[in-house]
Amino acid sequence: MGPVQSWFVPARPPCYSETVARLKTIAALGLALAITLGVAGCGQKADEPNTIRLVAWKFNNPGLWRRLADQFEKQHPPLKVALEIGPHSSTSYHDLLTQKLKNRSNEVDVFLMDVIWPPEFASAGWALPLDDLFPAEQRELFVPAAMRAASWRGRVYGAPLYLTAGVLYYRRDLLERYRLPVPRTWPQMVSQAKLITAQEKGDLAGYSGQFKQYEGLVCDMLEFVWSAGGKALGGEGQRCLLEGPAALKAVRFVRDALIGGAAPRGVLAYQEPESLSLFAQGGSVFLRNWFYAWPILNDAQRSQVAGKVGLAPLPRFSGGRSAACLGGWQVGLSAYSSKPTQALKLIKFLTSETVQRRLVLEEGLAPTRTGLYQDPWVLKAQPHFAKLLPVLEGARPRPRTPLYPAVSQVMQVYFHRAISDKDSDLPELAGRAAQDIDRLLGLAGGQ
C-alpha cells in the first residue's frame, strides 16, 4: 500500500490532522456523488403543461414547421409547441422516434409517422387511436388510400398530413420529336426508350429509377409487381405471394429489360436524388419518382430539362392496372403523452384544410383532402395537381403488418439479388424470400 500513499499525499505537512483528512474524504465523496448524480440526472426535463412537444420529420424546407407552430400558438393560447426536427431520412427518423417511444419518453406528444408505420406503432402500443377525430363523414373527405394506410384493425392511428406517390416523368420534347404517345405499358416504354436512345446523339439512357438496396427499391418493385396483377402479401390471412407468376414476371422484366437494358446498371446504386439528377441533367428519357420531383425538374436553376418534362401515371403490364406506391406522412398521438387533449388540438390543426392549403402553396406538398384537388387557389399555383388525384386514387399502400420493417428488409435483399444478377434463379430466390416472410407473418399472427 506504500505507493498509494506516495502519490496520494506526497508531502504531508507536519500539522496534518485527522480532522483535515476526514474533511477531505467527505469533500471527495461529495464530489463523486455529485458527478454520479449529475450524469444520471441529465436527460430529465421538466414537463410543462402548456407545451406540446412535436417530433417531426424534416421537410425540405425546415422553416415551415416553425411557421406552422407559430400559427397554431396564435390560434390556441396559451398552448406552445416545442419542435424537435429529426433527420430527413425516413429510416433514421424511425430509429430516433421508436427509441423515444420504446423508452416511454414524455418528451413526445405528437409525432410524424411515415405512411408505412401505423400497423407497427398501433400494435406496439405507441400510438393512440384517433377515432374521435375521424368519424365516418370526416374520413370521406380524405383520399381513400391515405385513410386505408392510416388505419389498423378498423381504427385510425394517423391523421393524414400529405401524400406522395410514384409517377412517370418523361421528356415531352423527345416523345414529340419521334411522334410517340405517352407510354401506357412497360414494354411500350422500353421500346420507345430503345428507339430514342438509338437515334439521339450523346450518352442518353432510357430509364432512371430507384434500385439501390433500401426502402425505395421495395416501392419501385412493388409498382411493377402490382401493375402485373401480382401482390406481395395476400388477404387478411396474409401470406407472401412473391412466388406467384405475375410477381415473377414483373421482377424478370425489371432484371432483363430495365437493368442493363433501358436503364444504366448504375441505377442499382441509385436512391431518389441520383435518379433525379440523371434525368434533370438530360441523361434519361424516362424517370420514375415521387411528386416532389416536379417543381425541381421545372426549375431552370436546378434542371436542364425545365419546361420539357411531362408527368403521367406509371405504365402497367398488359392486362394489369397502373399502380403507384403510396408515400407520405401522418400525424400520430403518443401513448405516453401527459396531455392528449391539447395534443389532439395540434393534430386537428395540422390536418385542417387551412394548413393543407398552406402545405400546397408554400411547399408544393400534395394534400390528403380530396376537395383541395379542385380548389381554384391550389390549381392556380400547382396546375399539375389536376393530374395527381387520379394517381392517388389508384395508389396502393405497401404491405400492412406490424413487422413491415422486417418484411421490407427481406424484400429489399430479394429484389436486389434478383435484379442485379442477370442469371439469378428467380423462383428459387422468391421461394426463399417467401419462406422468410411467411415466418415473420406467422410471428405477427401468433400475437
Partner 1 sequence: MAPRRGEKLLAWGLLLPCLAAVCAFAFWPIVYSFVLSLHRIVLGLPGLGEPFVGLGNYARLLADPTARSSAGITLVFVAVSTLCEVALGTLMALALDRSFRGRGLVRAAVLVPWAIPTVVASQMWRFILNDRYGLLNWLIFGDQVGSYRAWLAEPGWALAAVIGADVWKTSAFAALIVLAGLQTIPRELNEAAALDGAGSWQRFRHLTLPLVLPALAVALVFRTMDAFRVFDLVYVMTQGGPANATNVLQFYGYKKMFAEGFMGYGSAVSVMVFVMVLAVSLLYLRLVGRRLLRGDAR
Q: Is 213 in the site for partner 1 (CB under 8 A)?
A: yes
Residue from 64, 80, 105, 266 touching partner 1 (CB under 8 A): that is 266
* Residue 208 neighbours by CB under 8 Å, 6+ apart: 263, 264, 267, 270, 275, 276, 278, 279, 283, 284, 286, 287, 288
Task: Check: CB of residue 85 under 8 Å from CB of residue 111.
Answer: no
Shortest CA distance to 347 belongs to which of 49, 46, 79, 45?
A: 79
- Write out the binding residues for partner 1, residues 383-402 only, by CB under 8 A: 402
Kindly tell me which of 59 and 152 has the beta carbon lying closer to partner 1: 152
Residue 172-211 contact track with partner 1, rule CB under 8 A, x = bound: -------------------------------x--------
Work out whether strand 159-165 and strand 366-367 pair parallel, antiparallel, or are unpaired: antiparallel
The CA angle 218-221-226, to the nearest 5 degrees, is 115
- Residue window 223-262: x/- pattern of binding to partner 1, with contact defined by CB under 8 A: ----------------------------------------
Residue 7 as a binder of partner 1 (CB under 8 A): the answer is no
Asked if 431 touches partner 1 (CB under 8 A), the answer is no
Hey, how many other C-beta atoms are within 10 angstroms of the C-beta on 354? 10
Site string for partner 1, 13-32 (x = CB under 8 A): -----x--xx-xx--xx-xx
Among 64, 82, 124, 182, binds partner 1 (CB under 8 A): 124
Cell 410471428 sits at which residue? 443
Nearer to partner 1, 214 or 317 (CB): 214
Strand partners, 330: 113, 160
Asked whether 278 and 269 are in contact (CB, 8 A), the reply is no
The count of chain residues that interact with partner 1, using the rule CB under 8 A, is 58
Q: Are 89 and 301 in contact (CB under 8 A)?
A: no
Give me the residues that bind partner 1 (CB under 8 A), please: 1-2, 4-5, 8-9, 18, 21-22, 24-25, 28-29, 31-32, 35-36, 39, 91, 94-95, 98-99, 102, 119-120, 123-125, 203, 212-214, 264-269, 274, 278, 283, 402-406, 409, 412-413, 416-417, 420-421, 443-444, 446-447
